[in-house]
Amino acid sequence: MSTHSSVTPPPDLYVAVNGVNTRYWQMGDRGSKIVLLHGGNGSIEFWLYNIAALAQHHQVYAFDMVGSGKSDYPDGSYSLGYQAEFLHDFMSALAIDSATLIGNSMGGGVALEFTRLYPDRVDKLVLVDSMGLGREISMGIRLITLPAIVNLLRPGRWMIPAMLKSNFHNSDRLPPEWIEFRYPIFAIPGRNQVILRLGQSNFNLAGVRAEVYQPIVDSLARITQKTLIIWGECDRIIPVKHAYTAVEGLPNSQLEIFPNCGHHPYLEYPAKFNRLVLDFLTALKIGAIIPIAPIKK
């Protein structure tokens, strides 16, 4: 049974980022700045149950990352490096000098790559079931590197239950209203070539490309920002062992594992997630709020 409160999405705003029309939400007029980064083939609707809570104390931005949602779909690569540069340009377009980055899945990988490239632009990090910490990823993601598979995709409502089953531990926790908000984005026509470019830029049949994740893993010890790592214990997309790669490698990090939770903790348990993040952002020292979980091998 869902425990989500019904919400109204913020108004859609648009900004041109190097000629790419980019949709974003903005809420909050006090405190530090936060940028929310959704996962691959996602959209800002994924943050529907988080943005208002975070905006009570912070200035929060969420945007449809390049090639996603209602933003434009330019030609070219959608590698983590390209997306990190686009994040840099998005922040510059909105005069965001520095921010806390909260990234899920591919958005987490973009946050890590951005921090590696532009450490002075990052205040803190929140990594949620993040990509970029190893090769392993679900077979479904690996298959979107194959044109024959991607060309068969015909978005329809029949695909929603399968998507929910793979991404969430208990899809019954999701309110029907979220599916109604998300479905029109999911079903935007012409997505197949974008999905293929996204897949081929970052993955192959063996998993995440080494040239995508290895530079991040090699640089973890040099990322000194305070970092909160949140992971769903039952994630079927990216294994929970990558959470321990992160907490062992990042010198100022702490870890929270959500039991009975899949790839999107902020959607399955929004109240818990929001409280945890707000506590982390106000903590004076690392470890003041959340102890590091015991390491599971």
Q: Read out DSSP for 101-114?
A: EEEEEHHHHHHHHH
Kindly state whether residue 124 falls inside one of the protein's structural domains: yes
CA torsion 172-109-49-122 (nearest 10°) is 160
State how far the Cα of 147 lies from the Cα of 200, in Å rounded to an integer.
9
Q: Which of 76, 221, 62, 208 is nearest to 130 (CA)?
A: 208
Kindly state whether residue 3 falls inside one of the protein's structural domains: no
Find tokens 């709020």 and name the residue.
Answer: 289
Is the model's pTM score more than 0.85? yes
Residue-level pLDDT, tens digit, the chain, 297 residues: 556 777 889 999 999 999 999 999 999 999 999 999 999 888 999 999 999 999 999 999 999 988 788 898 888 788 899 999 999 999 999 999 999 999 999 999 999 999 999 999 999 999 999 999 999 998 877 777 777 676 666 666 656 667 777 888 988 877 888 878 877 777 776 777 777 787 788 888 888 999 999 999 999 999 999 999 999 999 999 999 999 999 999 999 999 999 999 999 999 999 999 999 999 999 754 444 444 444 443
State how far the Cα of 153 lies from the Cα of 163, in Å rounded to an integer.
13
Q: Which of 129, 80, 128 is nearest to 102 (CA)?
A: 128
Rg for the chain (alpha carbons), in Å?
Answer: 18
Kindly state whether residue 6 falls inside one of the protein's structural domains: no
Tokens standing for 226?
Answer: 């305070």
Name the strand (E) or helix (H) holding 100. strand 99-105
State how far the Cα of 195 lies from the Cα of 78, in Å rounded to an integer.
9
Compute how many other C-beta atoms are within 10 angstroms of the C-beta atom of residue 152. 9
Kindly state whether residue 173 falls inside one of the protein's structural domains: yes
| SS3 state of residue 162 | helix
Q: What is the pLDDT of residue 291?
A: 44
Q: What is the pLDDT of residue 152?
A: 65
Q: How many structural domains comprise the chain?
A: 1
**Within the chain, what is the greatest distance between any pair of CA atoms?**
52
Tokens standing for 59?
Answer: 């200035």
Q: What is the pLDDT of residue 100?
A: 98
Which residues, listed in sequence order, are joined to residue 253 by a DSSP beta bridge? 227
State how far the Cα of 99 lies from the Cα of 97, in Å rounded to an integer.
7
CA distances from 131 to 103, 147, 214 (A): 9, 22, 11
Q: What is the pLDDT of residue 165?
A: 75
Q: Is 118 exposed, middle or buried (0-12, 13-18, 19+ CB in 10 A)?
A: middle
Q: Is 286 exposed, middle or buried (0-12, 13-18, 19+ CB in 10 A)?
A: middle
Find tokens 């926790």 and name the residue.
Answer: 173
Q: What is the residue range of 85's domain?
A: 13-282
Phi then psi for residue 267, to 5 deg, are: -95, -35
Kindly state whether residue 8 falls inside one of the protein's structural domains: no
CATH number at residue 153: 3.40.50.1820
Task: Give Cα 194 distance to the centre of its chain.
Answer: 18
